[in-house]
Amino acid sequence: MDRRRVVVTGLGLVSPLGTGVEKTWEGLVNGRSGIRPIARFPAAEHTTRIAGEVKDFRAEDHVDRKEARRMDLFTQYAVAAARMALSASGLVIDEANADRVGVVVGSGIGGMSTWEETASVVATKGVRRISPFFVPQMIINMAAGQISILTGARGPNWGTVSACATGAHAIGEAARTIQYGDADAVIAGGAEASVTPMGIGGFCAMRALSTRNDEPERASRPFDRDRDGFVVAEGAGILMLEALDHALARGAPILAEFAGYAASSDAHHITAPPEDGAGAARCMRRALVDAGADPSAVGYVNAHGTSTPPGDPSETAAIKAVFGDHARRLAVSSTKSMTGHMLGAAGGAEAAITVLALQRGILPPTINLENPDPACDLDYVPNAARETKVDLALSNSFGFGGTNAVLAFRRFRG
């Protein structure tokens, strides 16, 4: 059967650069970092004491205060971003269409703060003091569940879990749900809130994080020779996806067209990518096939670009393998240089950023790129945003376990 065309009609962002699409975008195009010393808990004992916290978020601005108390922070972020995307799209969910609107929103880790707080209660007061809301607050699919409950969307409802590729997998699978006729519209993306003592401590134990504690704004430096690890961040990125015919029929704003999606596995290592980036390359190629596009048609790649010593050269090698000579003409940037690594929210947030780049004709930069790694020798849009109109862009998301997801978006031309 012919697949339905899918478009993006709304965006929602909660990030270390601010709550809301415009706050985040303004920070990105001005090359501003959202990384600061950790304020949420005493971090003196941690080897890394910096993170991308969302400083301006107020749950009560987005959800009833009583309901918010029954949600983990990652779910609060998800609900807020989903409501932004739904509102921006102008879609009204009612009895006539509720069965045809779905929600696919995931998280890499889920209710980390709820887990830690409950463990403390058990240790000090015993198991009988566990809250009856412990499990509903903690489980990952509750973000999608709460969005469904609060918006009335009664279509397919589930949560993806694939580490740092979570948000991208959610968007890709949501688009396929629409393409094959199981829904007309889907709220899709990812959320994360893992800036907690154990969340930061666990990554510190892996020696995965930057320890540039005295210069937090310069700590996330993808593709730079002096990078020393990633920076944990939090937030949510949500897209409102709709079938093109459905969007046109109601006069919806169309921000971009969803063009393609692919998923693959490295089958290599639990945390490290292969040096040649073979799994990522395979995923990009398949996404281009799904989009029916030649590699030369791509003008921009929002890279996974985590600022880790092994990850950045591996992704660079993958891009070269896929694009050949065109790789030298391709603009590539890592917005994690400004947001930090939002983990399960990263794929959703970066997909939204890619859509904005297409729609507004501005490519966000890779900041802190001062001494390029010789193994990372592409055009990473260093340090300043660039006004450039591109027609096709990719958003790369790769996660622990060797999981890969690539999304392709096209500038909408009708």
Active-site residues, by number, are 164, 304, 341
- The residue type of 54 is V
Structure tokens at 350: 């970066």
Structure tokens at 159: 């949560």
Q: What number of helices (H) and strands (E) belong to the chain?
A: 13, 15
Gap between the Cα atoms of 12 and 79, Å rounded: 10
Gap between the Cα atoms of 145 and 157, Å rounded: 7
Gap between the Cα atoms of 387 and 385, Å rounded: 7
CA distances from 300 to 86, 124, 135, 291, 319 (A): 27, 52, 41, 15, 11
Gap between the Cα atoms of 394 and 153, Å rounded: 29
Residue 183 backbone dihedrals phi, psi, to 5 degrees: -160, 160
CA geometry: angle at 190 spanning 412 and 235, to 5°? 105
Residue in the block written with tokens 């990263």: 346
